[in-house]
Amino acid sequence: MITARDAGLVACQRCGQVHTLDTAVCTRCEGALRSRDTESLQKVWAWLIAGMIAYIPANTYPMLLTSTLVEHSESTIIGGVVELFEHGSWGIATIVFVASVMIPVGKFLAIIYLALSVQRKSPDNQHERHKAYELVEFIGRWSMIDVFVVAILSALVQLDTIATVNPGVAAMSFALSVVFTMLSAQAFDSRLIWDVDRTQK
Amino acid sequence: MTAAVPPLDDLVACPQCDTLHQAQDLPDGARAFCQRCGIVLMTSKPAAMAQVLSLALTAFVMMIAAVSFPFLTLDAGGLQNATSVIDAVLAFNDGFAFPLAVAVAFFIVIIPLMRLTALIYALGPLVREQEPRPGARTAFALAERLHPWSMAEIFIVGVTVALIKVAGLAAVTVGPAFWAFAGVVIITILKDQLICRYSIWEALDKAKQ
């Protein structure tokens, strides 16, 4: 197997058309051509750090502010999951936990691993790393579930004195965290994973 | 190695790992995968373009219904509150959360509509075998680029979670917009499954000449 770059060519990532290395704009789809994104890792780290910082207030501040006739309560992401468990809604508690805790944290770790392994020019586990990259790209958006839950609840539960639900600060920072990590994953140039075995062999 | 390179139009490179392949005409219904990283490079389904276009049109009409009709109605202790998709977005409209309201509006309504519009604009003339409209390539590129930011399917899962959360508190009635929205999600997934980026770009390229 030979890459486009080995053959002295550059491929368009948008439409797959192949050109000679000195071409700057794709003749088929007019997209910008770059054999490799040399600033890829810089952007990956920058967005990732921003995403991790935003994830802190997302967990410490309340996500939902609930007022009913008898009580006023604030719940964080983890608090909401625990509450659902206590109500016996196991399935929903699991969905929220996976979307709001496991996916974001797993994504941070996966991106750190991908970026470090490319920096170290590791020749190992290329197929696994590529799968990890695809998974991160595909699954990252699903973290938004909790933000949408908060949006629907605060719109729906507005019954004056009986019960009202309003969004907390965490909803905002959680949404930002998801957007930043999505941008981080998109900035990662997956072709870099495969560049190493060329220098080794 | 470079000496034996075939004409560039016969080559296709994997967008994710840069491996070169020879483009081939696929038998109907076949899919071509990257030999190294395994992603789908091209699919061949007869009349796929017309199907994609009709699904996009259907989704567009249903999306209009989904934002216009009542989405959910809540009943508790004699008080009632009806919510449309727009209300769900406006839940964030006060103070610090305003940017979030804008973002949610984009994720669940505006970006899905933009993608559908761009796709209909780009593919319409292709299906009728006419010259592409000006900017058709930009429109198709935009529809592809916005894909990860279109979150209608995630929203519908979020709604389900929210419904179960309130179920104990009050009676919730599901309105017509909910079903329209669910329809948009299913049709959009079908449509994205049918799209073969490579053949659409090729068709846009050929139709231009």
Residue type for A79, please?
Answer: G
Question: Could B166 and A157 be called an inter-chain contact, meaning their C-beta atoms sit closer than 8 Å?
Answer: yes
**Number of alpha carbons in the 13 Å side-chain half-sphere of residue A69:** 4
Angle in degrees, CA B173, B174, B179, rounded to 5: 170
Q: Are A111 and A18 part of one and the same domain?
A: no
pLDDT confidence of residue B93: 59
Q: Which residues of A touch B148 (CB under 8 A)?
A: 137, 141, 182, 186
Q: Are A128 and A104 part of one and the same domain?
A: yes
Question: Could A3 and B159 be called an inter-chain contact, meaning their C-beta atoms sit closer than 8 Å?
Answer: no
Q: Which residues of A touch B107 (CB under 8 A)?
A: 144
SS (H, E, C) A128-196: HHHHHHHHHHHHHHHHHHHHHHHHHHHHHCEECCCEEEEECHHHHHHHHHHHHHHHHHHHCCCHHHHCH
> Is residue A140 a contact partner of residue A182, using CB atoms and an 8 Å limit?
yes
> Measured between alpha carbons, how far is B63 from B117 in angstroms, rounded to an integer?
12
The strand ranges marked E within A2-63 are 9-11, 18-20
> Measured between alpha carbons, how far is B16 from A69 in angstroms, rounded to an integer?
55
Question: Could B13 and A4 be called an inter-chain contact, meaning their C-beta atoms sit closer than 8 Å?
Answer: yes
pLDDT confidence of residue B27: 82
* Helix A126-139 and helix A169-187, axial crossing angle in degrees, nearest 10: 140
Q: Are A28 and A68 part of one and the same domain?
A: no
pLDDT confidence of residue B155: 92
pLDDT confidence of residue A57: 95
The strand pairing partners of A102, in sequence order, are: none
pLDDT confidence of residue B147: 92
What pTM did the predictor assign? Answer: 0.88
- Select from B81, B100, B202 the Cβ nearest to the Cβ of A175: B100
The strand pairing partners of B173, in sequence order, are: B73
pLDDT by 10s per residue, chain B, length 209 = 444 567 777 888 888 888 888 888 888 778 888 888 888 888 876 678 888 999 999 999 999 999 988 888 877 777 777 788 887 777 665 666 677 788 888 999 999 999 999 999 999 988 888 888 888 889 999 999 999 999 999 999 998 888 888 877 778 888 899 999 999 999 999 998 888 888 888 888 887 65
Who's near A55: CB < 8 A, 6+ residues apart? A104, A108, A173, A174, A177
Low-confidence ranges of chain A (pLDDT < 70): 160, 197-201
Q: Which residues of A touch B9 (CB under 8 A)?
A: 17
> Measured between alpha carbons, how far is B141 from A70 in angstroms, rounded to an integer?
54
Name which of B93, B40, B72 is nearest B178 in CA terms. Answer: B72
Q: Are A83 and A152 part of one and the same domain?
A: yes
Q: Are A27 and A112 part of one and the same domain?
A: no
> Measured between alpha carbons, how far is A143 from A54 in angstroms, rounded to an integer?
14
Q: Which domain holds residue A18?
A: 1-35
Q: Are A77 and A12 part of one and the same domain?
A: no
The strand ranges marked E within B2-76 are 11-13, 20-22, 31-33, 40-43, 72-76
Q: Which residues 109-168 of B are in CB contact (within 8 Å) with A?
A: 137-138, 140-141, 144, 148-149, 151, 154-155, 157-159, 161-162, 164-166, 168
Q: Which residues 100-119 of B are in CB contact (within 8 Å) with A?
A: 100, 103-104, 107-108
> Measured between alpha carbons, how far is A167 from B95 in angstroms, rounded to an integer?
11
Chain centroid to CA A133? 11
Q: Are A26 and A98 part of one and the same domain?
A: no
> Measured between alpha carbons, how far is A64 from A5 in angstroms, rounded to an integer?
51
Chain B: closest CA distance from residue A41 (Å): 16
Q: Are A42 and A93 part of one and the same domain?
A: yes
Q: Are A47 and A1 part of one and the same domain?
A: no
Q: Which residues of A touch B16 (CB under 8 A)?
A: 130, 133-134, 190-191
Does residue B203 belong to the interface with chain A, where contact is any CB pair within 8 Å? no
Name which of B114, B136, B125 is nearest B63 in CA terms. Answer: B114
Q: Are A194 and A103 part of one and the same domain?
A: yes
Q: Residue B43: what are its φ and ψ, rounded to 5°?
A: -125, 155
| Number of domains present in the structure of chain A | 2
